[in-house]
Amino acid sequence: MEEVDNILIHALRQVGTEVGEDIDSVKQFSSELIVEAVVRCVRVIEPSLGSVLPTSLPPGMSARFRVGMSLAQACQDIGYKGEIGYQTFLYSNEPEIRSLLMFLVEKLPREHAEASDQPTGKSVVLQRAIAAAIKAQLAVTWLPSNCRLPLHGETQVNSLELHFDCFHVQPLSLPQCTQGLGKKQLKEMKDYQRDILPPVTAQPSHHASVVASILEQHTAELSAAQEWDIEWNSQGLLSRLTPQEYRCRKQTRLHKRIVEQLRSAVLPSPESAFGGPSSTSDLSELLQAFRCTAPSDHILTKGTHFTHTQKFTFTQVRSTMPKYDSAERNCPCRKKSDIQLRQQEELTSVQQQFQQLCTGTMSSRSTIAQCTCVLVQVLDELKQRELGNCEKEERMQVKKKTINLLPDADNNLLKLQALVESSAKRVVNLASQWEKHRAPLIDEHRRLKEICSNQELESSRKLSEIKSLHDKIRVSTEEAKKKEDVYKQLVTELENLPQDASRSAYTQRILEIVSNIKKQKEEITKILSDTKELQKEINSLTGKLDRTFAVTDELVFKDAKRDESVRKSYKYLAALHENCNQLIQTIEDTGTILREIRDLEEQIETENGNKTVANLERILDDYRAIRQENSALAAKVREG
């Protein structure tokens, strides 16, 4: 019975009945709890019936009686076949309540249980709810914004508000302490950060863009750091440079590249006519645009050839501008048309002048380019000639010396020979010395070379190790992620599991019960066959007895007529037979009486189980209460 009670209590809890933790069988149910459970079940099964029923018992006795009657009626309407009345609820007994609750729980709609079982059902329910909400919102008529009541505010949003919902990013200024560790921070910067810089939340113009701006800044920093990390791991480590050196090298490389690109874009344009479609590439068009229309404050931070020329152009233009300004200011009180005419004229003249200036700069630029070319050529030539000059001067000096030696030729020859010999000796000497020094140096050199190659080998080995470690780290992080995912999935599955587990336990239990029942059935059939055999034996024995008695009776009766003693024995026989019959009858009677006694005992037990005495007392109490209520009412009526 415990299993059944557990299932019942579980189902009742799911319906919404508040069954206490300490209650684990139907026996412990109070009247209030029974009424609540039944009403909740009825509400789920048949909402129209259940909605009029209260979930708790009222205090008045007659009202309780009425609630019990209506509940019993509702249960019968649902289809409960068993005996039911107000007494079922007010003066409960365990088996009746159990059978009623079992009936109600079986009647509970199936999909309710399924919906709680399946995780996919939840999203379907959610989507259905969303669809219903949207349908309801669409059903509401649209109102202009100033006619709206506050309750419409949530669903009807005008386009302006929608526009404000967009996120926009604005640059933020954050004091960075980590950067300033190496170099000392400027005092002005500190003052600025302490006194004037507003907090991050006050920096953007709209409050809505605070979060977006902060997120954007952090993402930018993070992605920059990641990119650097990847690049450093893939290329930086292999180049065997420190990070600063690597950065430096990359910067110079990029700088060179950009300069080349710009130069190649700038160079062809002077040859074509001014303003014409010099080339179709975007960059050169852009540069053209810069050259013609860019305002003077557009200053590129990198000082390329191109920016210098640009600056040059615009300082010229700016210097010509004030003239016209002053001319304009001198005549403010002319007629409108006059002014317009004048302005037009001025405009055309200025444009003409501007064009002239532009063409002038163009031509002068081309001449400058030519001149620089020529200059470079000339400089090269000059260098070559200087080199030639040096060589020639050296040769001349040698010749001068020989000419000086010519007058005293023999002596000088001898001297020279001696000199040559001594120097030859010295050379030999030096060579031997050099050999002496050289041998250890060469050894040293070889040794160092070997060490160097060893170190190189080791460093490359370590590099490969580092690389493999990086790979391993990546692989293991991926694995960890995967495993975490699997873990999460398993946890969610586990959360959904317990109900299934209990179900399998139940089925197992049911199977056990079924097998038990089978065993019992076999035993019963065995006992039945035993009784049948016994019955047969008894029948055959009684038959035998009857027949033997009849035969003996006849024989003895025949002799009894002749012999006195035999007559006596016949009397005894008859008495014996009668007594034996009586005995058998008595034994049979005891058997039936014993069976009756057992039946009665069982009945007593069930009656005891029904709490008859307690219920009777309660009925008596309630009866008294009703009588009191009635008398009080009667008194009221009399008073009224």
- Summarize as ranges the residues that interact with another protein (CB under 8 A): 127, 130-131, 134, 166-171, 173, 186, 188-189, 191-192, 196, 203-205, 212, 250, 254, 257, 282, 285-286, 297, 299-302
**Tokens, residue 394:** 């050296």
CA atoms of 586 and 594, how far apart (whole Å): 12
The one-letter amino acid code at 602 reads: E
In whole angstroms, how close is the CB of 8 to another protein at the nearest point?
A: 38
Is residue 35 a contact partner of residue 53, using CB atoms and an 8 Å limit? no
Cα–Cα distances in angstroms (integers) from residue 394 to residues 382, 387, 556, in the given order = 19, 11, 184
**Tokens, residue 122:** 């939840």
In this complex, which beta carbon is closest to another protein, that of residue 173 or of residue 239?
A: 173
**Which residues touch 597 (CB under 8 Å, ≥6 apart)?**
none
Cα–Cα distances in angstroms (integers) from residue 180 to residues 40, 185, 194, 226, 235, in the given order = 70, 6, 15, 22, 28
H/E stretch holding 200 reads none
The one-letter amino acid code at 451 reads: I
Euclidean distance between the first and the last CA atom of the chain, given in angstroms as a whole number: 55
**Ramachandran angles phi, psi of 54, nearest 5°:** -80, 150
Buried b (16+ CB within 10 A) or exposed e, 429-449: eeeeeeeeeeeeeeeeeeeee
DSSP of 294-316, one letter per residue? Answer: --TT---SS--HHHHHHHHHHHH
In whole angstroms, how close is the CB of 55 to another protein at the nearest point?
A: 37
In this complex, which beta carbon is closest to another protein, that of residue 68 or of residue 204?
A: 204
In whole angstroms, how close is the CB of 316 to another protein at the nearest point?
A: 18
CA atoms of 583 and 589, how far apart (whole Å): 10
In whole angstroms, how close is the CB of 75 to another protein at the nearest point?
A: 40
In this complex, which beta carbon is closest to another protein, that of residue 163 or of residue 400?
A: 163
In this complex, which beta carbon is closest to another protein, that of residue 20 or of residue 180?
A: 180
In whole angstroms, how close is the CB of 227 to another protein at the nearest point?
A: 9
In whole angstroms, how close is the CB of 317 to another protein at the nearest point?
A: 16
In this complex, which beta carbon is closest to another protein, that of residue 189 or of residue 555?
A: 189
In this complex, which beta carbon is closest to another protein, that of residue 305 or of residue 383?
A: 305
In whole angstroms, how close is the CB of 254 to another protein at the nearest point?
A: 7
Q: What percent of the residues of the chain are helix, what percent strand, and what percent coil, each to the nearest 5? A: 80, 0, 20
In this complex, which beta carbon is closest to another protein, that of residue 203 or of residue 412?
A: 203
In whole angstroms, how close is the CB of 192 to another protein at the nearest point?
A: 4
CA atoms of 555 and 563, how far apart (whole Å): 12
In whole angstroms, how close is the CB of 357 to another protein at the nearest point?
A: 22
CA atoms of 26 and 483, how far apart (whole Å): 46
In whole angstroms, how close is the CB of 188 to another protein at the nearest point?
A: 4
In this complex, which beta carbon is closest to another protein, that of residue 134 or of residue 517?
A: 134
The one-letter amino acid code at 488 reads: K
Cα–Cα distances in angstroms (integers) from residue 331 to residues 58, 336, 341, 350, in the given order = 102, 11, 13, 18
In this complex, which beta carbon is closest to another protein, that of residue 23 or of residue 169?
A: 169
CA angle centred on 487, ends 481 and 490, rounded to 5°? 145
Task: Using DSSP, state whether 55 is helix, strand or coil.
Answer: coil
In whole angstroms, how close is the CB of 259 to another protein at the nearest point?
A: 14
Q: If you search the block for the tokens 């009635």, which residue do you land on?
A: 630
In whole angstroms, how close is the CB of 167 to another protein at the nearest point?
A: 5
DSSP of 448-464, one letter per residue? Answer: HHHHHHHHHHHHHHHHH
In this complex, which beta carbon is closest to another protein, that of residue 306 or of residue 570?
A: 306
In this complex, which beta carbon is closest to another protein, that of residue 169 or of residue 237?
A: 169
In whole angstroms, how close is the CB of 203 to another protein at the nearest point?
A: 6
Pick from 264, 289, 296: which is nearest to 275 by CA? 289
In whole angstroms, how close is the CB of 31 to another protein at the nearest point?
A: 48
In this complex, which beta carbon is closest to another protein, that of residue 108 or of residue 208?
A: 208
How many CA atoms are closer than 13 Å to the CA of 470, on its beta-carbon side?
Answer: 12
In whole angstroms, how close is the CB of 157 to another protein at the nearest point?
A: 14
CA atoms of 30 and 570, how far apart (whole Å): 74
Is residue 17 a contact partner of residue 35, using CB atoms and an 8 Å limit? no
**Ramachandran angles phi, psi of 191, nearest 5°:** -60, -45
Task: Using DSSP, state whether 244 is helix, strand or coil.
Answer: helix
Pick from 136, 70, 81: which is nearest to 104 by CA? 81
In this complex, which beta carbon is closest to another protein, that of residue 188 or of residue 639?
A: 188
In this complex, which beta carbon is closest to another protein, that of residue 202 or of residue 613?
A: 202
In whole angstroms, how close is the CB of 297 to another protein at the nearest point?
A: 5
CA atoms of 527 and 530, how far apart (whole Å): 5
**Which residues touch 40 (CB under 8 Å, ≥6 apart)?**
12, 15, 16, 17, 50, 55
CA atoms of 308 and 365, how far apart (whole Å): 12
